[in-house]
Structure 1
């Protein structure tokens, strides 16, 4: 299977605080499974995965939230469930996933059921910081090839849509990613972000600065956006980056952290000359980009081993700890593909 890609339509965020939310999550999984044609058996597996994740948040977690969204590999669609919380965390995820292990006196079958029913899953937990679990259910049991880049966007509390967006593409050998932040909040900001995403996917194969210029022209009829495009070239050991507005980017290998430069302005309206910058891209390095709805207070040294995990797991962890509720928030993570 090809690398999976997230789809914006059908996304649903839940603040998981009581049993009523667990029921809402289950109903949403049933609707989404029917929408994408997951099939009866796999839809039942998905319901188990989502219900167990939501139930675990109610029973064990602090500040639990859950994202349900479709994913695709170009030929078929699946469903991804992302569950995150801010505590108490687990010192040994493998032990916690064994049937019969429990921290609350209940039958500890939740994590084991998730591992059995999901096509693929990944998890990360730090005591005192909390846990993030990502699980996917596909129509077949074939293990999907996980993406080299993935993002996660969350709307401002009280809004049903996010004005932040992300996209990835490989065109003529160029591995490029986009993060955008539509001006303001709500439907008009979301429309600007979606325009940027669609224009990015349709843009000619070109270096990041030229793609940003294309996006600037495409956004002229919208309220505008901050945005940045990065291109990973592992063969040359270079990351190329061009941005307009307050999109943040860093390249880190866990020990070192290099910030990326964007130019002032608003794509679609006001901007200075777009400049493209080159940065070293060493093996093992990871690119993290985010909107201004995510603070810069996170540090990889607080998360031992996190950079080796799936991109969407890294993105969800950063969003959980550095995202702010008073703004739309988006994080994208990309790494050079393994040789």
Structure 2
């Protein structure tokens, strides 16, 4: 089946006062050490995370940070910092060591870039900044950075009722996203059951996978489910969806929607259907639950689609996500 990527219970930490800096640093070091990082490598993680968190505290508006195992490579540490701050008009200038700015992540961004195994920044003046970075131990492999996904629970809930899973081979990427009905533990149970069923059947056609998930969720709350299979050799995506889950092929000129039929997986469905779409070069496939508004406009983010999927996912979660529902977004770059 190839590499398996599945959603985690992502914990977003607000970086609003100085106490958050130490907590984020300790969390990052603990995760790095649990992934086999030696003292020196873990120290690099600590310094980079402290610098990013410090700048969120000092300069950001609504700054938050996510620290987790990298979804594509469990031995790597991924860090995402998001804010709605003033943004930066010249990111390349901010990357120079010693450069200082009142914009978020301007101080020390060059050092962060030097310490991380991989990083990317997208910033728009007046809208904010997204920094995605990952760390690997010396000599360890690096993630492909071909796909990313994020979840965020409603309000102050500790579990998210949305979930996703991905299987990845040399030529094909298969992805499933489930928005469990409602929120809380019952919704999370439904979506995790959908993940289990997807992983048991991921090599089958999307419509067959969707049918098996629909049958298997009968003893749960059910949910909205989307299944896509991306053939990276042919540049095609095969898609089957049931319920209110959004699926898009995005490119620099806009986006094309993929069709999902009405219903609730596990409870009610019309005749399920499967569709095929061409995926143009330099485009990205995006799936998201209705915890994100579908009114986002990719053309209003200059250069965003040239960034890795993690930066695209984080930007969408920040700007299109709603606090009135669980949220999940998955972004995939079909072309390598």
CA contact (8 A) 1:146 1:310 kept: no
1:53 and 1:253, CA in 2 relative to 1: closer, same or farther beyond 3 A?
same
Structure 1 distance, partners of 2:116, 2:295, is 33
1:39 and 1:95, CA in 2 relative to 1: closer, same or farther beyond 3 A?
same
What does the per-residue CA deviation read over 1:278-336, in whole Å, with 9 as the maximum and x for residues that have no partner? Answer: 22222222111110000012111111111111011111111110001121111111121
Q: Summarize the alignment of residues 129-278 of structure 1 with structure 2, pairs less than 5 Å apart.
A: 129-140=127-138, 144-170=142-168, 173-278=171-276
Paired residue for 1:115?
A: 113
Give the structure-1-normalised TM-score.
0.91
Give the match's secondary structure for 2:269: coil
Structure 2 distance, partners of 1:205, 1:108, is 45
CA contact (8 A) 1:82 1:133 kept: yes
What does the per-residue CA deviation read over 1:25-49, in whole Å, with 9 as the maximum and x for residues that have no partner? Answer: 1222233233333332222211112
Are residue 84 (structure 1) and residue 88 (structure 2) matched? Answer: no
Equivalent residue in structure 1 for 2:92, among 88, 91, 94: 94
1:140 and 1:24, CA in 2 relative to 1: closer, same or farther beyond 3 A?
same
Q: Give 1:275 shift.
A: 0.7
Structure 1 segments unaligned to the other structure (5+ residues): none
Paired residue for 1:53?
A: 52
Structure 2 distance, partners of 1:36, 1:217, is 38
CA contact (8 A) 1:38 1:78 kept: no
What does the per-residue CA deviation read over 1:185-214, in whole Å, with 9 as the maximum and x for residues that have no partner? Answer: 112212222221222122151111011112
Give the structure-2-normalised TM-score.
0.92
Structure 1 distance, partners of 2:279, 2:219, is 36
Give the match's secondary structure for 1:128: coil
Q: Give 1:243 shift.
A: 0.7
Report which stretch shifted further, 79-88 or 98-107. 98-107
What does the per-residue CA deviation read over 1:151-178, in whole Å, with 9 as the maximum and x for residues that have no partner? Answer: 1111112011111112211369542111
Are residue 23 (structure 1) and residue 25 (structure 2) matched? Answer: no
Aligned residues: 335
Q: Give 1:4 shift.
A: 9.3
Q: Pairwise CA RMSD of aligned residues?
A: 2.4
CA contact (8 A) 2:88 2:103 kept: no
Structure 2 segments unaligned to the other structure (5+ residues): none
Paired residue for 2:8?
A: 8
Q: Give 1:72 shift.
A: 6.0
